[in-house]
Structure 1
Amino acid sequence: MGVGRHALRAEPVRNHGHVPPGGRRRGMAPADLRQHGAQGETGGRMKRLLATLAVLCAAGHAAAGTDGVTFSHLDWDLVCDNTRTCRAVGYNAIDDAGPPVSLLLTRAAGPHQAFQAVLRIDDAHGERPGESAGTAMLTIGGSAAGQAPLNGHLSAAQVAMLVAALPGHDGKLTLSHATGTWTVSDAGASAVLLKIDEIQGRLGTPGAAVRKGTRPEKTVPAARSAPVVRAHPLPAPLTLPVATKLAMAAALRATPAGQDCEGLLLPAGPELRVGRLDAARLLVSSICFSARETVMAFWTVNRQAPYAPKLVAEDVTEVRDNTLRSIHAMHDCSSGEARMWDGREIVLARVFTAGNCVGRRFMHGAWQLPTFVTDVRLAGARP
């Protein structure tokens, strides 16, 4: 999951970041996993985790605490992030038994911003061909529109043709190739494009997708600035005395997230990963669930007793690039968050959803659609 500056495009969901059927996620580096060393399965935590995943994935929502917007109508979804960049996603008609296909239309906020379009297909086995899959004949509303990649960006001319056709309910997009035919429905597209015009303040302007008018383009509001995150490295591991680890684990078990956490309940003693955040606080984690994937909980605690643990996240599935990543993936859907250390607190850096993805036949959803983005800058680097 990319966390970075000026994020514009959504990314296709890639299976390497999720759990394959019957498989297990690699959550941390092998040395980190050895330090955690948790094994087994805890029934209470598993039930809570699965219930949480079901709610998140079925609803297509990411975490609260952001001001993103989600909207769905028929075969189209819309997700706009906190900068007002909007991403509209179209699929096959819900009753179309043909091979899955999805179209992503992205438009940044502000005057004179054009749409960008990306296609993604899956074959009958749910595997996404690479860019080398070639091109196919593209038709929009029954009119030939030239060649288009089976997975990739449409040209500016093709995007303009598509956006002009969709509001008139004549924008059905079809890719024809020797290996198959893929059709993106236009049902719901007009309502979604109108919603983009509304959210981005384009109604009545020449650049509006649906309700065009003569209001000057310069009156369209500028994009909101993404919050800046000054990213610091996560702390290196510390070795604690056994007595300190036991006392700290007891404090963590007294919290709701730690009461049935596997790594805190091992007969041989708790398995903790501890790092020094600052002069007063430590970052502590333990593997809490490991039946099908590695799920970790993170807390900040005082360096000395009383430890007063404060939960950072109880659903971290990967630690990479100094980022705590929480991916909730189930069947056709996924959502997730990324958190980073800014030198003062562990802060939210990105939130995404796959949209209203149930029944769309893409493993864990076709796209990661941000509802919250930040401008991540390395601490000490020039602005």
Structure 2
Amino acid sequence: MRIATLLLASLAAANPANPIWASELPKLSFQHHDWELACDNTRTCRAAGYHAEEGRNRPLSVLLERRAGPSQAFDVKLRLGDADDGIDLPATLAMQVDGRALGTVELKGEESIGSLSASQAQALLRAVAGAGKVSWRAGGLTWSLSGKGASAVLLKMDEFQGRLGTPGAAMRKGGRPEQDVLPPLPAPVVTAASVPAGELAPLGKEEERILLATLRKTAGNEDCGDLEAIATGESKFAYAPLTSTTMLVSARCWRGAYNEGHGYWVANRKPPFAPALVTQSGTDYDKGVIGASHKGRGIGDCWGHDEWVWDGRRFVHTASGTTGMCRGIAAGGGWSLPTLVSRRPAAGAK
């Protein structure tokens, strides 16, 4: 239950070290039956639909991406589950809506992803918004898309992007001017600061005792149960330099069946340490970047990801998202469904 909660909440979306930066940005995550929605802070939305989970349906997923702003069309992609009874995935699929032929979809690349034409995308939208049946066929096999939950997800997307009542709305079309649709927002630019290489030597026993006691008393660390393992010697702190006076302290906070989360704190190198929590769900750190990556279930077909970047003063939450539902689409997940995105200038850029 803990991992599922983390995944649905985009893991560490609440970042005590910089709460205002992330919390004031518009974003949305929503799931209903066989469909889900992720809208990021630029107001781009991505809806993913899947095969019906009940019954013996071949795994597939569609991704409907729509950027913010007036007169934006849907970009619709199709992906078949790559672990489907050990069959070789076809290169071309025949598309049908309510039994009516709608041309073919070519699957390309190592991931075998197909792009729907504008007319195919519109037919799919009309079908799943109502009670239509959408399927693809090849080699005597059929892959069927569930429409259960689609109308609720598309309605949420329209609402988030300010499209309700406009001609371009997916669900509730109307005569409100298309120019009333909310505009796109720029992705925040985060400039990463350089950090010294390597790790810091462990603190002395007395300083480490003070640090541990401080962390135990600091609000927000109540869920870091494995801090107690530091005191017994079962676990250890790790230290990385950030500036000449500050460091990044890390320690395991919790462990599950196939995931674990580490706490990361920005602290002074000497007492008083004044630790500031970044996350309790981190999984790796490298050169000023903290990452968090967790499976939604043991076979690893669904993941949640987060990232924090050191800007010289604090760790900024720069990315958050999942790979979609646990539906057996692909090892590592079927899609990228971000709710938080940012831009980092290239090295040397001004």
For the structure 1 residues 54 and 165, does the alpha-carbon distance in structure 2 shift closer, same or farther, using more than 3 Å as the test?
closer
**1:152 matched to 2:117:** no
Given candidates 319, 322, 339, the residue that maps to 1:371 is: 339
Partner of 2:20: none
The Cα of 1:101 is off from its aligned counterpart by: 0.9
The Cα of 1:87 is off from its aligned counterpart by: 1.1
Partner of 1:202: 163
For the structure 1 residues 304 and 320, does the alpha-carbon distance in structure 2 shift closer, same or farther, using more than 3 Å as the test?
closer
Query: Normalised by the size of structure 1, how large is the TM-score?
Result: 0.72
The farther-off stretch of 282-291 and 109-118 is 282-291
Q: Is the 8 A contact 2:291 2:305 kept in 1?
A: yes
Q: Is the 8 A contact 1:301 1:309 kept in 2?
A: yes
1:53-72 equivalence runs, <5 A? 53-57=3-7, 59=8, 61-62=10-11, 63-64=13-14, 65=23, 67-72=26-31
How large is the RMSD of aligned CA atoms in angstroms? 3.3
Query: Normalised by the size of structure 2, how large is the TM-score?
Result: 0.78
Given candidates 198, 207, 213, the residue that maps to 1:237 is: 198
Name the aligned partner's letter for residue 122 of structure 1: G
1:1-383 equivalence runs, <5 A? 52-57=2-7, 59=8, 61-62=10-11, 63-64=13-14, 65=23, 67-124=26-83, 134-148=91-105, 149=107, 150-170=112-132, 172-178=133-139, 180-240=141-201, 244-254=203-213, 255-256=215-216, 260-261=226-227, 264=230, 270=236, 272-275=238-241, 277-286=242-251, 295-319=261-285, 322-331=288-297, 333-354=302-323, 357=325, 360-362=327-329, 365-378=333-346, 380-382=348-350
Larger RCO (CA within 8 A; separation ≥ 6): 1
Q: Is the 8 A contact 1:67 1:81 kept in 2?
A: yes
Instruction: Specify every segment of 5 or more residues in structure 1 that has no aligned partner in the other structure, as ranges.
Output: 1-50
Name the aligned partner's letter for residue 281 of structure 1: T
Q: Is the 8 A contact 2:235 2:252 kept in 1?
A: no
Query: Separation in 1 of the partners of 2:247 and 2:188?
Result: 25
Percent identity among equivalent residues?
39
Name the aligned partner's letter for residue 336 of structure 1: H
Q: Is the 8 A contact 2:59 2:84 kept in 1?
A: no
The Cα of 1:109 is off from its aligned counterpart by: 0.7
Q: Is the 8 A contact 1:119 1:151 kept in 2?
A: yes
Deviations 1:279-323 (A, max 9, x none): 431123345678956753322111222222222222222335753
For the structure 1 residues 293 and 263, does the alpha-carbon distance in structure 2 shift closer, same or farther, using more than 3 Å as the test?
farther
For the structure 1 residues 144 and 274, does the alpha-carbon distance in structure 2 shift closer, same or farther, using more than 3 Å as the test?
same
The Cα of 1:192 is off from its aligned counterpart by: 2.1
Name the aligned partner's letter for residue 315 of structure 2: I
Q: Is the 8 A contact 1:324 1:338 kept in 2?
A: yes
Instruction: Specify every segment of 5 or more residues in structure 2 that has no aligned partner in the other structure, as ranges.
Output: 15-22
Query: Separation in 1 of the partners of 2:234 and 2:147?
Result: 59
Query: Separation in 1 of the partners of 2:85 and 2:289?
Result: 29
For the structure 1 residues 52 and 268, does the alpha-carbon distance in structure 2 shift closer, same or farther, using more than 3 Å as the test?
closer
The Cα of 1:364 is off from its aligned counterpart by: 6.5
For the structure 1 residues 113 and 201, does the alpha-carbon distance in structure 2 shift closer, same or farther, using more than 3 Å as the test?
same
